[in-house]
Chains A and B, each alone.
Chain A
Amino acid sequence: MSKLTIEVLIVGGGAAGMSAALAASQNASVTIVDDNPFLGGQIWRAELGNTKSPEAQKLIAAIASKQIKIINNAQVFGLNNANSLLTETTDGQLELKFEKLIIATGARELFLPFPGWTLPGVFGAGGLQALAKGGMSVKGKRIVVAGTGPLLLAVADYLKSKEAIVIAIVEQTSSAKINRFALGLWRSPSKIRQAIALRSGLRDVPYLTDSWITSAQCRSPRESKGVTRKLDSITVIKKGITKTIDCDYLACGFHLIPNTELAEMLGCKIENGTVTVDDYQQTSIDNIFCAGEPTGIAGLESSLIEGKIAGLAATGQLDASRALFGQRDNAAYFGDKLNKTFALRDELRKLADAETIVCRCEDVSFQRLEEFNDFRDAKLQTRCGMGPCQGRICGAAAQFLFGWEPPNVRPPIFPVKMENL
């Protein structure tokens, strides 16, 4: 086992983490630890090793010029003590002792169970985009993009640029709500430009509002042994009328969930699924800061500003940090509007039928979970949430379906090889 002692440790190499690293490096020596092979996080995920965003390229170049140490492919899974994290790297276990810690662990997608959602060919919206950036060819593939929020437009646009046939974008929010949201964008002219550019690129793709997916189908029957089952078609509902559409892939995105597991393991205060921070992005623990989506889903600009504030504050640059509070409030305003406009409708809670799997790791059905009152009971009786994803997918799904608090976090927060524990 190797050990490193670090002045400022940043967990997460996405927008918030990189921004924090640059700000902190003005006054301290900084190390970024990231579980991805390349910097950029999800929003700026590298395409075959290189991120395409000019903004991200600038940040990555700035980080390279600052002698910031970067540890890639390293998964933080546990603690040795309050100021020391355990990670699993390709070379075995690595202990990271820190003076200051900035948590920038980003977010994951919320997946809602509906009949057929476990079929190969059903992806997250960000998930399919991530795979495409990892080299997956979508050329000529018939794809439906469904769920909610502006991410659907960004993903559809990206897939089209890779010559996919985007059959439709299926948005659960009403057109009235979206129009009100669009009108409110006058406060953020850059967002209007982005929205206009996206919509013009997608002119020929039907944008179905007030619509959602009700099921995904495979032609081969469930009992067919030795046959790979995969997605063949999906069914969509709009104004009570259902329509079945043949497709190769379904990309569904129903919002993001903050990755709070690390903060929780460290004992930072968590409220309503987000890490509690003060004006300086400081958590309830003095030497631990948090920036970006774990403090609440608010998008790229907010993550960049929060990262900068955290990086400055963690290294004693309080005046410079304070000067950014106004910018953060503006970015938060946008995040708040976004979350209200694209709030999930109740009908989505009723998509799963009795047999629909909710916990994909342990194959626990909706019917089996229905009889319990909380996640803990369900977990003890059914093994729901006890598989390798440790409830990251089903915990959020069960919260949406049944209103259950997600399961408590216990180390290791990611499965690791026995010899690295």
Chain B
Amino acid sequence: MCRIYRHEDSPNIDNVIALKINNNSISVDDGTTVAVAILAAGVSQFRHSVSGESRGPLCGMGVCFECRVTIDRVAHQRSCSIIAQDGMEVVTDE
């Protein structure tokens, strides 16, 4: 499955980044954060809490750690503070 998501401000269609969220391909504009790419892929639960609650981004600025996901097999990365790169493999809720 491939979804195309583009930010309304972007004038340039060539400036897209292709990455994988839970093994689904998605394209986003260059400069998009990984957290936003995850939301654009329709995923709202980034992780589950120690008691099993659904959790997603809260602070958007790298402080609360609620948006942490696995990026290129490295766990616990704050997705709101990392810019999406071509070929990235992101896994949520691990």
| Residues of A participating in the B interface, judged by any CB pair closer than 8 Å | 35-37, 42, 45-50, 73, 108-109, 111, 118-124, 126-131, 134-137, 139, 162-163, 228-230, 357, 360-363, 387-389, 392-393, 415, 417
Contacts and interface: CB of A to CB of B under 8 A. Distances in A.
A321 B26 CA distance: 51
B11 to A, nearest CB: 11
Contact of B55 (A35, A124, A360): A360
B60 A130 contact: yes
Nearest to B47: A120
A163 B8 CA distance: 10
B71 to A, nearest CB: 11
Nearest to B34: A134
B50 A127 contact: no
Given A127-B60, A361-B65, A120 B81 contact: no
B35 A134 contact: yes
A228 B49 CA distance: 12
Contacts of B61: 42, 45, 108, 126-127, 130
Given A136-B40, A137-B40, A229-B53, A387 B80 contact: no
A44 to B, nearest CB: 13
Given A131-B35, A135-B32, A357-B49, 11 more contacts: A35-B81, A42-B61, A111-B58, A120-B46, A127-B59, A134-B33, A136-B39, A137-B40, A387-B65, A388-B65, A393-B63
B80 A135 contact: no
Nearest to B78: A388
Contacts of B66: 360
26 contacts: A37-B83, A47-B9, A48-B7, A49-B30, A49-B83, A119-B54, A120-B57, A121-B44, A123-B59, A124-B58, A124-B60, A126-B61, A131-B33, A131-B39, A131-B57, A135-B28, A135-B29, A135-B36, A136-B35, A229-B45, A229-B54, A360-B64, A361-B50, A363-B51, A388-B76, A389-B65
Q: What secondary structure prevails in chain B residues at the interface with A? A: loop
A48 B30 contact: yes
Interface in B62-89: 62-66, 68, 74, 76, 80-83
A325 B68 CA distance: 42
A36 B51 CA distance: 31
Contacts of A127: 57-61
B67 to A, nearest CB: 9
B80 to A, nearest CB: 7
Contacts of B31: 46-50, 134-135
B36 A134 contact: yes
A131 B62 contact: no
Given A48-B31, A134-B32, A228 B44 contact: yes
Most B Cβ at <10 Å: residue of A42, A50, A73, A229: A229
Interface centre among B35, B39, B80, B83 (most CB of A within 10 A): B83
Contacts of A109: 59
Contacts of B23: none
Nearest to B84: A135
Contacts of B82: 37
Contact of A120 (B10, B40, B44): B44
B59 A108 contact: yes
B49 A35 contact: no
A48 B9 contact: yes
Given A36-B81, A130-B80, A135 B60 contact: no
In the A-B complex, list the 6 residue pairs whose CB atoms are closest, starting with the nearest.
A120-B56, A48-B31, A130-B60, A127-B60, A135-B32, A49-B31
Interface string B1-13: 0000101111000
B53 to A, nearest CB: 6
A128 B60 contact: yes
A139 B40 CA distance: 12
Contacts of A73: 81
Given A127-B58, A134-B60, A393-B63, A230 B44 contact: yes
A121 B9 contact: no
